[in-house]
Amino acid sequence: MSYLSKKQTRKLSMRSGLSLVSLVLLAWLSIPPAQGAWDWGYALPINATNYPRAPDGASKYSVNTAYEVTQPVQQGQTLRFKVLIPPGVSSAKISAQSNSWQCAPDITDAAGNIIVPKSERCPIMDGFDHDQGEFCSHNPTAVNPSPCGGGTYIYPQDLHTVTARLLDILYPTESDSPNVVTQSRYAYFVLYQQPQALDKFAFTSNLGISFGISNVGLYNQWIDRGSPVPSNDNILTIAAATNNGTVTSNPSGISCGHGGTLCSASYTTGSRVTLTATAADGFAFASWGGHCAGATNPVTLYRR
């Protein structure tokens, strides 16, 4: 990345036949939430040590597992599940039931005018096969296109309501997502209990995760290696160098320059990382270098 002044320039670079369908149901378990920017963030304990090996010679295989989530989501709070998608998977879904899906009625005034619409009084949710960043409760507008500042965010407009049984896709969710996962990666399910909802949100059934596996050999290789998390081949490493400004990232990890010493960070497959360059007084942003050459500021990197 370059900053221009009359005296010097500094750059940032980035390094960066027979069809056999088996169904296995694993016992559910309760998971404590991880701490983070999301009010409730769960990393589901999915790995090669607690998933079954597919029969040799099978051309297709499916795995279902269930998890109990007992913690309610209060009004105005967010929930995120982080799900490891094994190699060989061509589809992944999440399912659940709740007596809290239904939206509360419109709030109206004495004349019958809608003050708070029904759409703002229910939980909203969706699945993503990549990291969408943090949650911003304010939708962008023409007047305020970045209501939560620079970076990558999930907004309420990106989510949808559920009025019956939940069945959302975790993979694939992008038009350019590979047909078959070749290296383990993460997918995400997010939920927002809107502030105008009648009450807290809670699941009334176990949370179900199902995988459709179309490359059984690839999946079994992952099982046999006992690989619980994405390998280093799936890591995006960003290195920043600057003397005349700062470089920060969203999600967090990089804060480099002018007192910031976090100049390198790694992100797993499926991550979207936005880098923002801020010039020091007397300087102006000129350009990114390395693989980001020609990009605008901020720049978003996507590790597939």
Residue 61's nearest CA partner among 215, 284, 240 is: 215
pLDDT of residue 272: 74
Q: Measured between alpha carbons, how far is 263 from 255 in angstroms, rounded to an integer? A: 6
User: What pLDDT shows up at residue 13?
Assistant: 31
Tell which residue, 289, 303, 175, has the closest CA to residue 239.
289
CA gap 80, 126 in Å, rounded: 10
Radius of gyration of the chain (CA): 22
**pLDDT for the residue numbered 205:** 86
Cis check for the bond before 172: say yes or no (omega within 30 of 0). yes
Residue 278 has a pLDDT of: 84
SS (H, E, C) the chain: CEEECCCCEECCCCCCCCCCCCEEEECCCECCCECCCCCEEEECCCCCCCCCCCCCCCCCEEEEEEEECCCCECCCCEEEEEEEECCCEEEEEEEECCCCCCCCCCEECCCCCEEECHHHCCEEEEEECCECCEECCCCCCCCCCCCCCCCCEECHHHCEECCCCEEEEEECCCCCCCCCCCCCEEEEEEEEECCCCCCCECCCCCEEEEEEECCHHHHHHHHHHCCCCCCHHHCEEEECCCCCEEEEEECCCCEEECCEEECEEEECCCEEEEEEEEECCCCEEEECCHHHCCCCCCEEEECC
pLDDT at 213: 95
| Bridge partners (DSSP) listed for residue 253 | none
Tens-binned pLDDT, residue by residue, of the chain (304 aa): 554 443 333 333 333 333 344 444 443 444 455 444 789 988 887 776 778 889 888 899 999 888 888 889 999 999 999 999 999 999 999 999 887 777 878 888 888 888 877 788 889 999 999 988 899 999 999 999 989 988 889 999 999 998 778 999 999 999 889 999 998 899 999 999 999 888 899 988 889 999 999 999 999 999 888 755 554 444 555 666 566 778 888 777 777 776 566 676 666 666 677 888 888 777 777 777 766 767 788 887 766 5
Nearest CA among 156, 178, 162, 20 for reference residue 89? 178
Q: Please choose, from the candidates 82, 39, 127, 91, the residue with its C-alpha nearest in 3D space to the C-alpha of residue 269.
A: 82
* pLDDT value for 236: 58
Amino acid at 63: V
Tokens 């399912």 belong to residue: 95
User: What is the structure's pLDDT at 260?
Assistant: 60
pTM of the model: 0.67
| pLDDT score recorded for residue 12 | 31
DSSP-derived pairing of the beta strands 245-250 and 255-257: antiparallel
> What integer pLDDT is reported at residue 29 of this predicted model?
42
- What's the N-to-C CA distance of the chain in angstroms? 23
Whole-number Å distance between alpha carbons of 93 and 81: 12
pLDDT at residue 239, as a whole number: 61
